[in-house]
Amino acid sequence: MEVAVVICAYTLARWDQLVLSVESVLRQDPEHETILVVDHNEPLMLRARERWPDLTVIRNVGRRGLSSARNSALAVTGADVVAFLDDDAWADERWLEHLVTPFEDDRVVATGGRALPIWPGATPAVLPPELLWIVGCSYRGLPEQDAEVRNVMGCSMAYRAEPLRELGGFNPDTGRVGRLPIGCEETEVCIRLRAADASRVIRYIPDSVVHHHVSPDRVRMRYVVHRSWCEGVSKAAISRTVGRQQALASESSYVTTVLPSGVARAIGSGPAGWIGASAIVASVLFAALGFARGRLSTPSVPQRSGVRENAVA
């Protein structure tokens, strides 16, 4: 089984984190191809090729955005399994081994790993464990053991390449562009993979661990609200392609069981927990508002000139 690992990058502002990400991948077993995709940023492209002359460094040949960058890598690799790691995350020593071993079962078409946050300071009260998906990390409510799931998270995941190509790869209309947290392309593609063949299996592998940097602007209530609203908009968009029931299947149990217990736990922990409880309530409210807004119309994703800022995904 041939394996490729893909990292997509778009900004020099994350250079130090990108170095950690790439170097952590180069240390992985089993033997694999490593592909760095640079998303419409020529200075970053030149610097990456200078830093890693033996690495496959390519341009995103599609329109700007994470989905097209991933698809650019998918188009050039001949690997059987393609793993993806965020440019602001670094992988534990056995990350790749744990992530790709399940593909020995022919039914498995996708796997996802566990992402732990690297906070810019103290653990923020505004992001209780139930809301860690907001910063692209594993959250309370995910299985604690290897288990079948509906979809993986984009920070750390792997796919059997051929079924993914048959779907046309990731949907650029739902993928993230820059800092705008519209996404859920991983959710959409996982649902479509299963819809094409109900015997296919998608697994969550918590032993496959990465460490995900969280920027200071994402540990504020303002970001929680904005990210939740965008999540609602994103879910509305994919509900058009895969159906409302599939788009919200996991979210329904999350909202009705995990979040109420999270609110109760936070309130019970005293005044310090009230911030977390308020964040959970605000997240649910704004996700619902975003979903309603998204069902009324599909907002366009703004395109920015120059270098861009910058996975219940």
H or E element at residue 47: helix 42-51
Residues composing the chain: 313
Estimate to the nearest angstrom the gap between the alpha carbon of 163 and the chain centroid: 19
Backbone angles phi, psi at 23, to 5 degrees: -65, -35
The CATH topology of domain 3-218 is Spore Coat Polysaccharide Biosynthesis Protein SpsA; Chain A (3.90.550)
Q: For position 246, what pLDDT does the model report?
A: 61
Q: Which of these ranges, 19-23, 57-61, 272-276, 307-311, has the smallest mean pLDDT?
A: 307-311
**Each residue's pLDDT tens digit, 235-255:** 888 777 766 666 566 677 788
Residue 7 has pLDDT above 60, yes or no: yes
**Each residue's pLDDT tens digit, 27-51:** 999 999 999 999 999 999 999 999 9
Q: What angle do CA 93, 17, 169 make, to 5 degrees?
A: 80
The answer to whether 196 and 163 have CB atoms below 8 angstroms apart is: yes
The answer to whether 22 and 55 have CB atoms below 8 angstroms apart is: yes
Higher-pLDDT residue of 313 and 28 is 28
Alpha helices in 85-208 (DSSP H): 95-100, 161-166, 185-196
Residue 18 has pLDDT above 80, yes or no: yes
Going by pLDDT thresholds of 50, 70 and 90, the confidence category of residue 182 is low
The answer to whether 99 and 208 have CB atoms below 8 angstroms apart is: yes
Question: How far is the C-alpha of 218 from the C-alpha of 230, rounded, in Å?
Answer: 14
Extract the runs of DSSP E, i.e. beta strands, from the chain: 3-9, 33-38, 56-59, 81-86, 89-91, 108-118, 147-148, 156-160, 201-213
Nearest to 10 by CA among 34, 36, 40: 40
Question: How far is the C-alpha of 313 from the C-alpha of 310, rounded, in Å?
Answer: 17
Torsion of CA 217, 220, 223, 225, to 10 degrees: 180
The answer to whether 250 and 150 have CB atoms below 8 angstroms apart is: yes
**Each residue's pLDDT tens digit, 254-289:** 888 899 999 998 999 888 899 999 999 999 999 999
Q: For position 244, what pLDDT does the model report?
A: 63
Q: What is the mean pLDDT of residues 190-198?
A: 94
Going by pLDDT thresholds of 50, 70 and 90, the confidence category of residue 158 is very high
Nearest to 96 by CA among 119, 120, 79: 79
